[in-house]
Amino acid sequence: MTTIKLHNTRTRTKEDFVPIDPDNVRMYVCGPTVYDRAHLGNARPVVVFDVLYRLLRYAYGPDHVTYVRNFTDVDDKINATALARKRAGAEGSLEQLVQERSNETIGWYLHDMGALGAMEPNAMPRATEYIAQMIAMIEDLIAKGHAYAAVGHVLFAVDSWKNHYGALSGRSVDDMIAGARVEVAPYKKNPMDFVLWKPSTDELPGWDSPWGRGRPGWHIECSAMADDLLWKQPLAVGALSEQALQHPHVIDIHGGGNDLMFPHHENEIAQSCCANEQDVFANYWLHNEMLQVEGKKMSKSLGNFFTVHDLLEQGVPGEIIRFVFLQTHYRKPMDWTEKKAREAEATLRKWRALTADIEPAVTAAPAVVDALADDLNTAGAIAELHRFAAGGDAAGLLAGARLLGLLTDELAGWAETGAIDLSSYADRLADARAVAMQSKDFSEVDRLKAAYVAAGLEVRMSKDGIELVPVAGFDAAKLGCV
């Protein structure tokens, strides 16, 4: 078996991945807050951890990997949308309208991530389904002296975990107080103490608790859901092995974007370790870097903010988005550009043509597997796929690409351009160029090139000939006017 190496944020080193139990590899990834459509940056961790999920399934077997990714459906923005709909005359209680909005956005999310070729995790819990587990964990933290109730709130006492808090992000509590924006409130014993439970007004969704009607803080939900789904439930049915039982409440991998490292993941670790009286919550922590657009941070003010749905509606296939993502290592900032999208489309069209009606090799080539096993070196794996394509090894190309979630049947169809043969159009341009080389009048060459581009063709001219490559928005009907 190929040894998988992963860069562990917790230790800041690349380590051999050794699961607690090879028959039950467990991974938790922080999912979205479902108040609106997922923007392009939201999709990057989905694709990154989908590749890791595929690699783990390849290495340990599909039945031996459990992947959990949550939905945060307790949020002020969800409530605000529901309130606006109620005031506009929508039928149903506020709670029903909140659930309606959550259902709507979760449906959008799953559709858009599916369009990128992401497999659905084994479990996708909603925060609202785990309120009882959160309350129980909060009660336990209070009983153990790690949390306290104040004015309808319950807060985690960072001082009770001060010697450990900040280890993941590498910052001391004092540094975090000096450099972070923390909520200053009279009921806090320490500025860094964070909310586990907060009160709800009568008009907002809430749940009964020992501290009054309220709702959970953001951080507690992941601790409760990860522990319940990856430890307590398997334990209840006897699915945990002796190896796992020797590491109570510990999971193999926890992942998410690096923007979650502090405070969210620091707070998860503090809650989980204190509740379960242990020093480790997850053995391996993985964080992906952020996404830019044309070299700049994605921002509505810059006009470069868009959702996955926006791109799909513009005719950019999900497979192209996925391919662009995978060309950059997950721990490096990724820059989305139109040029990269065009190049990705041209490559994928060639690969799909090469592998049409071909059965994949029985297994992915060792070179592809080795690249992915080296801390998800997707760029290296894609370089190997280019070598297979150049050598005409369609079966090897297909097997390796599918390990990356590319060239799958689910993502097929977009590259089909019908039965049109573009060779006559290429020959026409070649003839025009030959004439122009003699007459020095390139007006006809320029006219044909402009017409082909307007029809959605990329025109590639070299000394070896002319190649016409369909790109996003290709419309064969427009060629009839050329």
Tell me the C-alpha distance between 102 and 99, whole Å: 5
Q: Binding site residues for ATP, as ranges?
A: 300
Closest to 288 measured CA to CA, from 112, 27, 31, 46: 46
Q: Which residue has the tokens 């606006």?
A: 84
H helix or E strand, kind and range, residue 310: helix 308-313
- In degrees, rounded to 5, the angle at the alpha carbon of residue 80 between the alpha carbons of residues 76 and 81 is 125
Q: Whole-prediction pTM value?
A: 0.87
Burial track 432-451 (b if 16+ CB lie within 10 A, e otherwise): bbeeeeeeeeeebbeebbeb
Copy the structure tokens of residue 296. 């700049």
Q: Are 331 and 370 in contact (CB under 8 A)?
A: no
- pLDDT score for 419: 46
Tell me the C-alpha distance between 70 and 105, whole Å: 14
- pLDDT score for 421: 75
Q: Binding site residues for Zn(2+), as ranges?
A: 30, 222, 264, 268
- pLDDT score for 182: 59
- pLDDT score for 383: 98
Bridge partners of 467, per DSSP, are 460
Residues contacting residue 239 through CB under 8 Å, at least 6 positions apart: 24
DSSP string, 73-128: ---HHHHHHHHHHHHTT-SS-HHHHHHHHHHHHHHHHHHHHHHTTPPPPSB--BGG
Closest to 75 measured CA to CA, from 212, 234, 215: 215
User: At residue 27, what are phi and psi to the nearest 5 degrees?
Assistant: -135, 135
Bridge partners of 457, per DSSP, are 470
CA-based R_g, the chain, Å: 26
Helix 394-403 to helix 338-355 angle (10° resolution) is 130
Copy the structure tokens of residue 405. 């979630």
pLDDT tens per residue across all 482 residues of the chain: 689 999 999 999 999 999 999 999 999 999 999 999 999 999 999 999 999 999 999 999 999 999 999 999 999 999 999 989 989 999 998 888 999 999 999 999 999 999 999 999 999 999 999 999 999 999 999 999 999 999 999 999 999 998 899 999 988 777 666 555 556 688 999 989 999 999 998 888 899 999 999 999 999 999 999 999 999 999 999 999 999 999 999 999 999 999 999 999 999 999 999 999 999 999 999 999 999 999 998 888 888 889 999 999 998 999 999 999 999 999 999 999 999 999 999 999 999 999 999 999 999 999 999 999 999 999 999 999 999 999 999 999 999 999 999 999 999 988 875 446 788 899 999 999 999 999 999 999 999 999 999 888 889 988 888 988 877 667 777 887 77
C-alpha dist (Å) from residue 398 to 241, 355, 357, 367:
36, 6, 11, 14
Copy the structure tokens of residue 40. 């392009």
Q: Binding site residues, as ranges?
A: 30, 222, 264, 268, 300
Domain 5-288: which topology? Answer: Rossmann fold (3.40.50)
Tell me the C-alpha distance between 326 and 222, whole Å: 27
- Where, residue-wise, is CATH 3.40.50.620 in the chain? 5-288
- pLDDT score for 415: 83
Could you tell me whether strands 251-257 and 25-29 are parallel, antiparallel, or unpaired per DSSP bridges? parallel
Helix, strand, coil share of the chain (percent; to 5): 50, 15, 35
- pLDDT score for 269: 98
User: At residue 243, what are phi and psi to the nearest 5 degrees?
Assistant: -60, -45
Length of the chain counted residue by residue? 482
Q: Classify the phi-psi angles of 205: left when phi > 0, otherwise alpha if psi is within -120 to 50, otherwise beta.
A: beta
DSSP 361: P
- pLDDT score for 340: 95
Copy the structure tokens of residue 430. 């070649």
- Cβ neighbour number for residue 357 with a 10 Å cutoff: 5
